[in-house]
Chain A
């Protein structure tokens, strides 16, 4: 197996704000191979977006990487300057698809201007316009010529997301990071976009890190998945394995909640702990039905529980 396109280990990120320090990401580790699709699953507020921002080096104000490593194609991204990230990585080798395509586009500029801006900054020299039109056709946007002259609010949600997918592809990146790209869309459109994404990945050979809270979407789209809870990576593995045989209590609870899976209404008791007051050790422990007294003292680390399948739980400590 070749070197992974994305290799994250021991990542800890906190936000220093007026009210104190929020340890948003506590222990994140994952590996994504080239050309693969990985789904990153977690409830809202679990740190998914912060993780994406950390990869792209655009943490919000007060954000700080405490420890860990993000290797992209063997390059240590955390060691790069902001300027270097701008000129070599963002938009150029890592594409980004945001959650809400309406908010992500500047309402005051023509779509063409904004997409060509990305190409201007990153794409190889050549006829950017022609290439962009090609891409727009590829993402099945009607009337690509006219689209360039229009403003963001003049498109439907699905069309806008197609635009942004095209934008992410403009520079033929090795990795695309998508932050809940279908959440803001209606179900039919969501399906079309997912199919499109899958096709494009297959076609271009790029890897896709797909962040979502929707297990159904993961099941349909992703080769692999990683589950995150309150800033801790709790389980990773091939999608089929994880879904069929969830090992971490949180993953199990999550699956139990999913309307497709559960027979009755189920939910996880308790709430996600507030960012400023994270419990020590395993952060799921306070809500875990099978928590042990040692859980709060446990240093998080992923344990292998099957072929390419890992989980971070005290249950498997001895089994390892």
Chain B
């Protein structure tokens, strides 16, 4: 517990640095939020009034201190675009993005690890070479292109999977508690919504997961090959442990250590990738919200999103450390 607390405290300076960098970058922008705020037909005086009203005519340092003070009280301000509290909008969208990225992560792990193990077991023979080529291709494919191709094939040509959105329009989403449709629908025993939500998440999650599958497969493969050359594997073989059992239980646990450390990095990549995927599949998550904020120079939203992603990063890193400690007893003592 103290470990988590210490890690959380360590993350604060980084988050602060992140805030400074983002704040500076946003405020050197030529785009004037006051113009956006005033709307299409506003006059110059109207714009000036709005600039004053939002404190946009204050020196940068003043604006920053004011902002940090607000953030410290968990007040992220109002969106300059929609005039709504940023925190409300962001929290409302977070479950959609979390659901998408978590499903993608599960998919990446559930497929990436076995692929990596199989490749390692057939080291340098054709299954290995094929899987290696495929996994590199998985990292090389442009997400936006893959998403469009999947849409064209599975939604338009075959009509098997929905084109867009998170749930068929008009279908009522179950009320809470998690906001994750797949979980909530099961909790409410609503199979219609579950099937529908599942059908909707397949394509975006698969698009998002592909790079992750490839990455995890690569690290697992390297990990298995490394572990296989270790003495304890020799010993286990010499004491007659069945091969499949040896690999899938004993070798795998050692091999996923490296892959697990990748998952932390991967999660950041998934969040970033969701910007593209959400826009193509009309997924109502923070990725789309972010793009909108970028297009409208909505600085409060951009700052909050950056902070949120920073916090998610920190949390994921702590979780990664915990997962590694759960796998490796030696790490547990080192803390």
Q: Do chains A and B touch in the complex (CB under 8 A)?
A: yes
Q: Residues of A at under 8 Å CB distance from B?
A: 53, 56, 58, 82, 85-87, 89-92, 95-96, 98, 100, 103-109, 117-118, 121-122, 151, 153, 167-168
Q: Which residues of B contact A100 (CB under 8 A)?
A: 231
CB nearest neighbor in B for A87: B240
The 4 lowest CB-CB distance pairs between A and B, nearest first, are A90-B240, A91-B240, A103-B231, A91-B239
Partner of B235, one of A82, A105, A121: A105
Q: Which residues of A contact B241 (CB under 8 A)?
A: 86, 91, 117-118, 121
- Given A106-B232, A151-B330, do A90 and B239 touch, yes or no (CB 8 Å)? yes
Q: Which residues of A contact B9 (CB under 8 A)?
A: none
- Given A109-B250, A109-B253, do A122 and B232 touch, yes or no (CB 8 Å)? no
Bound complex: CA of A151 vs CA of B242, how far in Å?
A: 22
User: What are 24 A-B residue pairs whose CB atoms fall within 8 Å in the complex?
Assistant: A53-B234, A56-B238, A58-B234, A82-B243, A86-B241, A87-B240, A90-B237, A90-B240, A96-B239, A98-B234, A103-B230, A103-B232, A104-B231, A105-B232, A107-B254, A107-B329, A107-B330, A108-B254, A118-B239, A118-B240, A121-B241, A151-B329, A153-B330, A168-B239
Q: Which residues of B contact A109 (CB under 8 A)?
A: 250, 253
Q: Which residues of A contact B250 (CB under 8 A)?
A: 106, 109
Are B327 and A58 in contact, with the CB atoms below 8 A?
no
Q: Residues of B at under 8 Å CB distance from A?
A: 230-232, 234-243, 250, 253-254, 327-330
Are B240 and A121 in contact, with the CB atoms below 8 A?
yes
Q: Which residues of B contact A122 (CB under 8 A)?
A: 240
Q: Which residues of A contact B236 (CB under 8 A)?
A: 106, 117
Q: Which residues of B contact A87 (CB under 8 A)?
A: 240, 242
- Given A86-B242, A103-B230, A122-B240, do A98 and B235 touch, yes or no (CB 8 Å)? yes
- Given A109-B253, A151-B329, A153-B330, do A104 and B232 touch, yes or no (CB 8 Å)? yes
- How far does the Cβ of B171 sit from chain A's closest Cβ, in whole Å? 46
Are B330 and A121 in contact, with the CB atoms below 8 A?
no
Bound complex: CA of A82 vs CA of B232, how far in Å?
A: 19
Q: Which residues of B contact A103 (CB under 8 A)?
A: 230-232
Bound complex: CA of A100 vs CA of B234, how far in Å?
A: 12
Q: Which residues of A contact B253 (CB under 8 A)?
A: 106, 108-109
Are B328 and A167 in contact, with the CB atoms below 8 A?
no
The count of A-to-B residue pairs whose CB atoms sit within 8 angstroms is 76
Partner of B239, one of A108, A151, A167: A167
CB nearest neighbor in A for B234: A58
Are B235 and A108 in contact, with the CB atoms below 8 A?
no
- How far does the Cβ of A17 sit from chain B's closest Cβ, in whole Å? 13
CB nearest neighbor in A for B239: A91
Bound complex: CA of A105 vs CA of B238, how far in Å?
A: 12
Bound complex: CA of A92 vs CA of B241, how far in Å?
A: 10
Q: Which residues of A contact B240 (CB under 8 A)?
A: 85-87, 89-92, 118, 121-122
Are A96 and B329 in contact, with the CB atoms below 8 A?
no
Bound complex: CA of A89 vs CA of B240, how far in Å?
A: 8
CB nearest neighbor in B for A90: B240
CB nearest neighbor in B for A82: B243
Partner of A98, one of B231, B254, B329: B231
Q: Which residues of A contact B234 (CB under 8 A)?
A: 53, 58, 98, 104
Q: Which residues of B contact A90 (CB under 8 A)?
A: 237-240
- How far does the Cβ of A119 sit from chain B's closest Cβ, in whole Å? 10
Q: Which residues of A contact B238 (CB under 8 A)?
A: 53, 56, 58, 90-91, 96, 98
Q: Which residues of A contact B239 (CB under 8 A)?
A: 90-91, 95-96, 118, 121, 167-168
Bound complex: CA of A118 vs CA of B240, how far in Å?
A: 7
Q: Which residues of B contact A85 (CB under 8 A)?
A: 240
CB nearest neighbor in A for B257: A108
- How far does the Cβ of B253 sit from chain A's closest Cβ, in whole Å? 5
Q: Which residues of B contact A82 (CB under 8 A)?
A: 243
CB nearest neighbor in A for B251: A106
Q: Which residues of B contact A98 (CB under 8 A)?
A: 231, 234-235, 238
Q: Which residues of A contact B243 (CB under 8 A)?
A: 82, 86
- Given A90-B237, A151-B330, do A106 and B254 touch, yes or no (CB 8 Å)? yes
Bound complex: CA of A29 vs CA of B80, how far in Å?
A: 87
Bound complex: CA of A108 vs CA of B251, how far in Å?
A: 10
Bound complex: CA of A98 vs CA of B236, how far in Å?
A: 10
Which of A89, A98, A104, A151 has the most chain B CB atoms inside 10 A of its CB?
A104
Bound complex: CA of A163 vs CA of B329, how far in Å?
A: 19
Bound complex: CA of A82 vs CA of B328, how far in Å?
A: 31
Known: A58-B238, A108-B253. 12 other contacts (CB 8 A): A56-B238, A86-B241, A90-B239, A91-B239, A92-B240, A103-B232, A105-B235, A107-B254, A107-B328, A107-B329, A117-B236, A122-B240
- How far does the Cβ of B313 sit from chain A's closest Cβ, in whole Å? 27
Bound complex: CA of A53 vs CA of B327, how far in Å?
A: 30
- How far does the Cβ of A151 sit from chain B's closest Cβ, in whole Å? 4
Q: Which residues of B contact A117 (CB under 8 A)?
A: 236, 241
Q: Which residues of A contact B329 (CB under 8 A)?
A: 107-108, 151, 153
CB nearest neighbor in B for A86: B240
Which of A100, A109, A167 has the most chain B CB atoms inside 10 A of its CB?
A109
CB nearest neighbor in A for B232: A106
- How far does the Cβ of A206 sit from chain B's closest Cβ, in whole Å? 15
CB nearest neighbor in B for A105: B232
Bound complex: CA of A90 vs CA of B240, how far in Å?
A: 5
CB nearest neighbor in B for A153: B330
Bound complex: CA of A85 vs CA of B238, how far in Å?
A: 10
Bound complex: CA of A186 vs CA of B178, how far in Å?
A: 58
CB nearest neighbor in B for A106: B232
- Given A91-B240, A92-B240, do A108 and B327 touch, yes or no (CB 8 Å)? yes
Bound complex: CA of A165 vs CA of B199, how far in Å?
A: 56
Which of B232, B239, B241, B243 has the most chain A CB atoms inside 10 A of its CB?
B239
Q: Which residues of B contact A56 (CB under 8 A)?
A: 237-238
- Given A90-B237, A100-B231, do A108 and B328 touch, yes or no (CB 8 Å)? yes
Bound complex: CA of A90 vs CA of B237, how far in Å?
A: 8
Q: Which residues of B contact A91 (CB under 8 A)?
A: 238-241
